[in-house]
Structure 1
């Protein structure tokens, strides 16, 4: 089984956890930007797939497409869109992956320990988005 879906908008990486003291206890929570992006990923996934979480090992492919900065010259923009220049900017690929894995935990698969193979790439494109493919392995 293969599930493909797209999350429109700029890719957002998983932010560092935040801490708040409540009396004698310390409470850990996601930064608001990360929490909102995870909800957006979950919503996009639920529009593409209705069913129970996968139970077998899975492979996840992530293509983070960044919009070309408006400040780039016409020739540099064309080079970016042809794949001659790579987006070496934040967020890092590992932070993009972590946000996607956490957002899909319990929805696409029972637990993210089922992820046995990954492939993540950052590229430039005409519109910012994240393309995600989840494949159930035999």
Structure 2
């Protein structure tokens, strides 16, 4: 079984955890930007799949497409669309993957320990979006 869905908008990486002292204890929490992005990921996934979480090993593919800056020349824009120029800017590929994996925990799969293979791509595209593909692997 394969599930594919798209998150429209700029890719957002998982932010550093924040700490707060409450009632004598230190608590950690996600930064607001990461929390909002995880909610968008969950909504996009739930539009594509309404079943129970997958229970077999998972292959995950994440393709992060960044919008081409308007300041780029026509030749540089063409190079971006042809895949010659790659986005070597933030967020890092591992932070993109971490945010997606955490957001899908309990929705797409029971736990992210089921992910046995993952591919993350960063590229420029005509519009900013993240395309996620989740595939069950037969044991």
Q: Is 1:63 aligned with 2:63?
A: yes
- Which secondary structure does the structure 1 equivalent of 2:41 belong to? helix
TM-score by length of 2: 0.98
Query: How much has 1:24 moved relative to structure 2?
Result: 1.2
Cα offsets for 1:44-101 (capped at 9, x unmatched): 0000001000000000000000000111111101110111100000000000000000
Query: Structure 2 matches for 1:1-138, cutoff 5 A?
Result: 1-138=1-138
CA distance in 1, matches of 2:136, 2:38: 21
CA distance in 1, matches of 2:133, 2:22: 40
- Which secondary structure does the structure 1 equivalent of 2:56 belong to? coil
RMSD: 0.4
- Which secondary structure does the structure 2 equivalent of 1:43 belong to? helix
The gaps in structure 2 that reach 5 residues or longer are none
TM-score by length of 1: 0.99
The gaps in structure 1 that reach 5 residues or longer are none
